[in-house]
Structure 1
Amino acid sequence: MRKVLPVSGREWCDKHFRLPAGSSQTAGRWTTMPLQVVPLNMMCNRNIRCVVFQKSARIGYSKILVGSVSCLQAQYNTNVVIYQPTDDDAKDFTIDEIDAAWEMMPIMQRIFPYLFAKNEKNTVKKKVGAGWTLDIKGTHTPKNTRRLTKSALFADEVDGWIWRFAKEGTPIKPARARLEGAAFPMERWGTTPTVAGESHIEVLMSEVDFTFRFYLPCPHCDHEQVLVWGDKDSQHGMKWENTKTSIAAKSRTAHYLCISCTQKIHYNQLSAMEKAGRWIAEDGTWTNDGIQFFSDSNEKVSTPRKVGLHCWAGYSINLSFGWIGLVEEFLSCGGDPAKLQPFVNLVLGELWEGDNAEKLDWEHLKLRREIWWAGDRKENPVHSRACILTGGIDTQDDRVEFYVWAWGVGEECWLVDHIVVLGDLSSDAMQEMAGKQLYNQYMKANGEKMDVSLWCWDAMGHKTDDVYKMSREHGKLWVIPIQGENKYGKPIASFPRKKNLKKVYLTRLGTDGLKERLYGRLNLTPKSINDPVPGCIHFPLDDDICGDEFFKQLCSASKKLEINKSGQRNWRWVKQYHVFDEALDCWNYANAALNILMQRFGFVLTEP
């Protein structure tokens, strides 16, 4: 009849939790790493209402989640719901993480008599134990966040959840409603982050009272600091020797520089540093166990109700190749935004700012103009690394504007030409003049002549029928009428399977995605004319096609967050300060043309 007193999450897991062979590097008894002590204890601490964990991969979060749920059920008979992004994710999580671990844990066999049975009390969606229930659901449909009453909500991979339901808004609110009436309501949110401005974890982190980060003492000077990646201009953070020739050679020199004494710290010193570390919030509040909290003057304070945690892969002492592997992974990105975003999200545990970051000012962009041709630019305006030309066309009441862009490997691009034909496209004379511009040829320095391989022509407005006519006359698969859709999540270019009633291939563009792509790439700085930079956008030193007006138009949009009366958050692109935006739109159209060539016609960007 003796009652067993509850223990901390760390103590319980070290005694009872087991790691399954299928989803763990080392199967068997769990041992809490110093990095995991505070997150695990916080998630099991019933005095903390909300824990929000913005984290990278490789720090054992899935195991912490299963260990926390098991601890709460074994010690407090807590009714729990675990939410995953989709039902398939929920099913896989149940099989790979929950069932696999519980089958190795004698204590779960005692409190869950149906562990090895296959019936309605033990499914991939629901577990009914001795005095508790566990539901595992996806959040892709509203019905999965209804009709449940729980004491604890564990939300995994929150940034993989749908952004909002069509009629009910964000899924966060109905998920939270499951805790109404609970004596000790607990919310536990965790994810690797995605894109700034479109991230659930970004919103959740803004709601917490404190955000704790892991401070480690320097082995040389004892100065406490948060580990950061740093950059080439910072005097501290992750460093390597750039004098080496290969990525592998540079990576082998990986080390960390202390922010205080600037001495080198090596990966094999990390474990000892973490044993002496503590988690500190912005106001100086700190804890080294997630149970007791102290002020910056070391006086004991009450437990905070809503806490945030942030941690990244540089803290993990279980990395196969240590910091060497992280540096090699970073260098392998080569400045390519498509590769950098996963690194920022999954390794650094940070929001990707590339798409939504503030754009470079148009005057700064103008200073980046280059000369890549020999002699007269008009004679050979195409860069030697370019392998294809595409064009974007914008129609106004009194003119038609043509922009030609050259593309190389990694979608590196160069502005080749800008043509303005004055007149009303509805007239036969104007259609003839505009039609002639479609057949212009452009030359490289080696004498190779290039045609524009595909045009995308804006068909919105009251010139739609005229654009359709130009497509039919000059090539239905060469001059593509396009219509922009200002809505997030739309594909870059949805090329139709068949012609519409006007006998043309009207293609819908995801203009928001195109603008994000452009503005993310404008921050890529070319190193030199001869060094390729994937995604980099190059501008010629030529006022005729690339003057002040061009750059003002290119930077004419900005992204604004709108919150409607129902609390739904939506991003909208709005004109910033310039009335015209043809340069911006035509880059979008030319890039969409490139995507159509690659997706519809199988074109591959290769070295010329």
Structure 2
Amino acid sequence: MSKQKKGQSRKEKPNLTSLFLSDFRPKPKITISQWADTYRFVAEGLSSLPGKWNTDNTPYMREILDIFTDRKVNQVVVMASSQVGKTEVGLNMIGYYSHQEPSAIMYLLPTDDVAKKFSNSRVKTTIESTPVLAPLFNNRSRNAANANDFKSFPGGFLTISGANTPNNLASFPIRILIQDEIDRFPHILTHEGDPIQLARQRTVTYSNAKELLISTPTIVSRSRIWEAYQNTDQREYHVNCPDCNHLFTFQWEQVKWEVNSYNKLIQGSVYIECPACFHNITERERREMVKLGKWIATKPEKEIPGFHISTLYSTMIRFSILVKEYILAQEWLEVNKDPTKMQVFYNLKLGLPYDEVFADLDPDLLARRREFYDAELPEGVLYLTAGVDTQSDRLEYQIIGWGDGYEAWVIQYGVIHGDLTIDKPWNSLDQVLTRYYYFVDGRKLPIMAVFIDSAGNHTNEVYRYTKSREHLNIFAIVGRAGEKSLINGMSRNNIYKVYLATVGVDTGKAILMRNLTIEYAGPGHIHFPRKEECNCDQNYFDMLTAEKCETVYKNGYPKQVWKKIRERNEALDTFVYGRAALETLNPNFEAQRKAVAELPVFQQENVVNKPQERRIFSRLSR
């Protein structure tokens, strides 16, 4: 055997010291998109482009991903349509901040159920299909900790939670916070506050914390992602026309097409028109334009980066598909006077909030919809709430039952006259709010939440009344016009230290007016009782429709305001308060349906609901 050359064995032997120290060398600094392009794999069945991740497939996502590695950036807002890869932003962040910069990560979704499904269907498969992530999360010593909602890895952990559970938002500090689909978050958690703010408090101990707010928008008046986007530099993705090189953004108004005599799309007729030279941009040209596009801030004076992207930029969705969906939504709106399909198109395809236009409602037509219930509580009622309005000489209240999809049944409207500075009217209100209400078979429900207006001349009396009844979910409120959310927090910042909820009355009125246009039983529809003692007479419907929404312009910007068209509007206000009170219960209709079905049957108490006294104003009373 020939002799080994000098130094040959030294080359073949591993240098154990170098191998050991290599584990402690800092990883080269890379951006999130570079990490994804290098390491990320997309599982089969989760994308039309499975396999090795390539950011070039969604080039508009590169800047969104990479901006998180800017030390000056702590918060990023993304308002996006569906089918543009927005969920992949969060998944790539999970991969980067577990592999490159191990951190405490929270991924927050609207509910625990959604979080569980997301964990199983997206996060788990992403980890398993990405070779550098699987060993981090699958170490045997960590298997017990890696449940659906909590996964540990060296140097950090990932918790995947629902925004509807306060306990999820009130434990350990978080450095990386991803809040996904925030327009579907509950607006308030009972006695806790806004879940977005609660989660954000978890990041305050980190000077290098990162927060992503991402969602498709909903309605202008209550979209949380739209509100957040208004406070950013509002970046839009710009492309150059292949014919004249004009720089512009894709807008739906630029999409052109032709239809036949049956209003059906003529195949091959769809194109995007350049707003400068009117060049007909084809599908192939669009793909190249998107690849070379760039983000431009339209409000550069703002510090928070914000991005808006629509399906018009998605090279995986053809123009013709979008046009067909728009035609169907437009036909539905014209035939049924129902904007829901058009709203879906604006939200999911254009990534824009929908601006509702409310038709004038005829109180006479609404009164004709009254029906006889078979009991105090019709089948379908799962929750009971009440709203109470205070006037100088009376209390006016409304009791409402709620079912699946926020279908509503007005149970009773009433007026209690009296001097509100003494106990008598308040004692009468107690008799209404603290009794049980019965189904036809003897099952019964209490009123589960009550909101009482504290504005006006009797603020102290309302505070005194609610302070001793908060354990019954009876709370004082103040209405605020212009607020985006239905409930905008609860605080004890008042002289009596009672819980005081701030209700976004404009949002509540918008919800009510939209639901009043739904003519058939089902989600959102409102039922009215015909029995005289329920007090849903013509006066009630006049009050329910006593305001209309108008658009006014302030400093050149449109703004929706509600204006009275009739003096009395107590039925409208109390309905809004009852709807807002429901939010404090974080309603889970599926679970509540089972609970109500299993209620014990009782013999109904002899409760006589006399028609409430109404004061008649006439010349004879002067």
Does TM, normalized by the shorter one, top 0.5?
yes
1:279 maps to 2:295: yes
Deviation string, structure 1 residues 162-211 (Cα, Å, up to 9, x no partner)? 01112222111111011111131111010111122222212322333x11
Deviation string, structure 1 residues 10-56 (Cα, Å, up to 9, x no partner)? 11101111111132223211111212211221245443110011101
Alignment of 1:231-246 (within 5 A): 237-242=254-259, 244-246=260-262
Tell me if structure 2 keeps the 8 A contact 1:218–1:273: yes
Deviation string, structure 1 residues 36-95 (Cα, Å, up to 9, x no partner)? 211221245443110011101001111221012211221111221110111111111111
Output the CA distance in 1 between the equivalents of 2:562 and 2:274.
43
Match of residue 147, structure 1, among 171, 175, 199: 171
Match of residue 329, structure 1, among 325, 342, 357: 325
Distance 1:191 1:254, change over 3 A: same
Alignment of 1:362-377 (within 5 A): none
TM-score, with structure 1 as normaliser: 0.59
Query: Which residue identity does 1:556 align to in structure 2?
Result: E
Distance 1:66 1:404, change over 3 A: closer
Tell me if structure 2 keeps the 8 A contact 1:20–1:28: yes
Query: Which residue identity does 2:246 align to in structure 1?
Result: H
Give the 3-state SS of the residue equivalent to 1:120 in structure 2.
coil
How far residue 124 of structure 1 moved from its aligned partner, in angstroms, is 0.7
Output the CA distance in 2 between the equivalents of 1:215 and 1:513.
35
Distance 1:177 1:511, change over 3 A: closer
Match of 1:220 in 2: 243
Match of residue 493, structure 1, among 390, 394, 409: 409
Match of residue 79, structure 2, among 46, 54, 57: 54
Match of residue 92, structure 1, among 97, 105, 117: 117
Tell me if structure 2 keeps the 8 A contact 1:251–1:325: no
Give the 3-state SS of the residue equivalent to 1:135 in structure 2.
strand
Query: Which residue identity does 2:106 align to in structure 1?
Result: V
Give the 3-state SS of the residue equivalent to 1:7 in structure 2.
coil
1:260 maps to 2:276: yes
How far residue 574 of structure 1 moved from its aligned partner, in angstroms, is 6.1
Distance 1:108 1:159, change over 3 A: same
Distance 1:196 1:251, change over 3 A: farther
Alignment of 1:493-512 (within 5 A): 493=409, 498=439
Give the 3-state SS of the residue equivalent to 2:218 in structure 1.
coil
Output the CA distance in 2 between the equivalents of 1:512 and 1:499.
33
Match of 1:249 in 2: 265
Query: Which residue identity does 1:142 align to in structure 2?
Result: P
1:576 maps to 2:572: no
Distance 1:8 1:584, change over 3 A: closer
How far residue 106 of structure 1 moved from its aligned partner, in angstroms, is 1.6
Deviates more, 1:54-63 or 1:118-127: 118-127
Distance 1:284 1:31, change over 3 A: same
Output the CA distance in 2 between the equivalents of 1:454 and 1:284.
54
Match of 1:601 in 2: none
Match of 2:104 in 1: 79
1:556 maps to 2:558: no
Match of 2:538 in 1: none
Match of 2:310 in 1: 312
Match of 1:439 in 2: none
Distance 1:559 1:519, change over 3 A: farther
How far residue 5 of structure 1 moved from its aligned partner, in angstroms, is 0.9
Distance 1:164 1:284, change over 3 A: closer
Match of 1:344 in 2: 346
Distance 1:109 1:227, change over 3 A: same
Deviates more, 1:42-51 or 1:221-230: 42-51
Match of 1:415 in 2: none
Tell me if structure 2 keeps the 8 A contact 1:44–1:68: no
How far residue 118 of structure 1 moved from its aligned partner, in angstroms, is 7.7
Query: Which residue identity does 1:127 align to in structure 2?
Result: K
Unaligned runs of 5+ in 1: 231-236, 286-303, 366-390, 393-402, 406-417, 419-451, 458-481, 502-509, 522-534, 536-549, 561-571, 589-608
Tell me if structure 2 keeps the 8 A contact 1:47–1:305: no
Tell me if structure 2 keeps the 8 A contact 1:48–1:186: yes
How far residue 552 of structure 1 moved from its aligned partner, in angstroms, is 13
Identity of aligned residues (%): 24
Output the CA distance in 1 between the equivalents of 2:324 and 2:206.
48
1:172 maps to 2:196: yes
Give the 3-state SS of the residue equivalent to 1:215 in structure 2.
strand
Query: Which residue identity does 2:41 align to in structure 1?
Result: R
Match of 2:39 in 1: 16
Tell me if structure 2 keeps the 8 A contact 1:194–1:345: yes
Output the CA distance in 2 between the equivalents of 1:271 and 1:278.
14
Tell me if structure 1 keeps the 8 A contact 2:546–2:568: no
Match of 1:412 in 2: none
Give the 3-state SS of the residue equivalent to 2:567 in structure 1.
coil
Distance 1:171 1:552, change over 3 A: closer
How far residue 154 of structure 1 moved from its aligned partner, in angstroms, is 0.6
Output the CA distance in 2 between the equivalents of 1:181 and 1:554.
49
Query: Which residue identity does 1:211 align to in structure 2?
Result: Q
Tell me if structure 2 keeps the 8 A contact 1:485–1:511: no
Distance 1:110 1:71, change over 3 A: same
Give the 3-state SS of the residue equivalent to 1:15 in structure 2.
helix
Tell me if structure 1 keeps the 8 A contact 2:176–2:209: yes
Output the CA distance in 1 between the equivalents of 2:196 and 2:127.
29
Output the CA distance in 1 between the equivalents of 2:402 and 2:251.
35
Match of 2:431 in 1: none
Tell me if structure 2 keeps the 8 A contact 1:54–1:309: yes
Tell me if structure 2 keeps the 8 A contact 1:486–1:512: no
Output the CA distance in 2 between the equivalents of 1:75 and 1:47.
19
Match of 2:286 in 1: 270
Give the 3-state SS of the residue equivalent to 1:557 in structure 2.
strand
1:197 maps to 2:221: yes
Match of residue 229, structure 1, among 252, 256, 261: 252
Query: Which residue identity does 1:513 align to in structure 2?
Result: I
Deviation string, structure 1 residues 500-533 (Cα, Å, up to 9, x no partner)? 99xxxxxxxx986341346899xxxxxxxxxxxx
Distance 1:176 1:511, change over 3 A: closer
How far residue 101 of structure 1 moved from its aligned partner, in angstroms, is 1.2
Deviation string, structure 1 residues 438-479 (Cα, Å, up to 9, x no partner)? xxxxxxxxxxxxxx785589xxxxxxxxxxxxxxxxxxxxxx
Output the CA distance in 1 between the equivalents of 2:227 and 2:402.
21
Distance 1:252 1:554, change over 3 A: farther
TM-score, with structure 2 as normaliser: 0.58
Query: Which residue identity does 2:114 align to in structure 1?
Result: D
